[in-house]
Amino acid sequence: MSVPARDPMTREERRAGMSLAAIFALRMLGLFLILPVFAVHAAEIPGGDNLTLVGLAIGAYGLTQACLQIAYGAASDRFGRKPVIVFGLVLFVIGSVVAALADGIHMIIVGRVLQGAGAISAAVTALAADLTRDQHRTKVMAMIGSSIGLVFALSMVAAPLLYAAIGMSGIFWMTAVLAFGAIGVLLWVVPAAPPVPRATGKLIDVLRDGQLMRLNFGVFALHLIQTTMWVMVPSALVASGGLPMPEHWKVYLPAVLLSFVVMVPAVIIAERHDKLKPVFNAAIVLLAFVQFGLWLFGDGLIPLALLLTLFFVAFNVLEATQPSWISRIAPPSSKGTALGVYNTLQSLGLFLGGVLGGWLGQAYGPAAVSLFCAVLALVWLALASSMNPPPLRVTPAAAPR
């Protein structure tokens, strides 16, 4: 059944979407800013000549995130979303300060571990689901996913300039300030959260749910593919595209912005006309097409730019639709737990993608990385094809308070 065309988001839903997207953006900007510059900086500090430690400093965040997402999601079911999010952001601030004061690679690793311990993604996503109706949830998830894509592109542009101006320590201090800003947005801008049903669901029930676990495999595959791509793509842009590293933003930024032009209509179709499954599967097909494209003809600046644009289209659509699908089928009493498992698999994908992408690229070459990702996308498509989202519940807007 199609959703009525005229059913706009309420002011509270718009405020919830924009403010929660801002919290994600403030936190992720601080994380993304170190990616283009940290390896260069590490060579100048004690222990930074050890590439294993450098990789651990970058990846430790994802590993501790993976270990704690379920705990944070379950805690948000039991104690409420906002207190858990504040606690995680405070830990993130502490980790940023430790990294800013570090005089060697080992203390930076400690700081990154503490940053990752602020694993609030599941609680924030659950709060977004609490504050929005079914017919607008995909749109709110798109706001959050889009904010991540935008700050990633912004970090590619801003990081070299910031590093030259304030150094790595300054970037970590800036990260702490941004997290404090996120706490302020949560407390004073995000609408009051509705009461969360008492947590009666069990983790084992989430793990036994076939549809939830297929969605969890999907987010694992998506972020593993994303990370393996960034092991390969920057070098390809330099080697075959003839584009120096400081100019890579000229590809990333237009690709991200153009992808939004396609993503927004796709999300509207998914939610307004209850076409979540066809839009979702089409995005997986596009993801597989990009990986096969990189495998077969991923040389040259123009092919790379076009394939990256298509990748961002698929990635942003999937980032928006997957959490919405999970929030529809997860029981209210264990929604935070279900999203915790989801974000755990997401973090594991990020962590393992870098490790696996590096190993495959070194042992078998960049083409093997793309071929592996293409096959993984096809496996995901086979699993997703047997899934069916529940019918969209059209809930009337609440009366103004």
Q: What's the token pair of residue 170?
A: 């300054």
pLDDT at 399: 45
For residues 35 and 313, the answer to whether their CB atoms sit within 8 Å is: no
pLDDT at 97: 96
- Which residues have CB under 8 Å from 32's CB, separation 6+? 151, 152, 155, 156, 159
pLDDT at 139: 76
For residues 288 and 377, the answer to whether their CB atoms sit within 8 Å is: yes
pLDDT at 79: 87
pLDDT at 352: 80
Q: What's the token pair of residue 308?
A: 């990256």
Instruction: Supply φ then ψ for residue 195, to 5 degrees.
Output: -60, 140
Tell me how far apart the alpha carbons of residues 25 and 82 are, in angstroms, rounded to a whole number: 17
Per-residue pLDDT of the chain (401 residues; tens, 9 = 90+): 444 445 688 888 889 889 998 998 888 887 778 877 776 788 888 888 886 777 778 777 878 888 888 888 888 888 889 999 999 999 999 999 999 999 999 999 999 999 989 889 888 988 988 898 877 777 787 777 777 767 877 887 788 788 888 999 999 999 999 999 999 999 999 998 777 665 555 677 778 888 888 999 999 999 889 878 877 777 788 788 888 867 877 887 888 788 888 888 887 787 777 788 899 999 999 999 999 999 988 788 899 999 999 998 998 888 878 877 877 777 766 777 787 888 888 888 877 877 777 778 778 888 888 999 999 999 999 999 988 776 655 555 554 44
Residue for token pair 């293409």: 374
Q: What's the token pair of residue 175?
A: 């990260």
DSSP state of 247: G
Is the pTM of the predicted complex or chain greater than 0.85? no
C-alpha 49: how far from its chain's center? 30
Tell me how far apart the alpha carbons of residues 70 and 325 are, in angstroms, rounded to a whole number: 18
Q: What's the token pair of residue 236?
A: 């390809």
For 307-346, the pLDDT digits (tens) are 999 998 998 888 878 877 877 777 766 777 787 888 888 8
Alpha helix (H) residue ranges in 273-365: 276-297, 301-329, 335-364
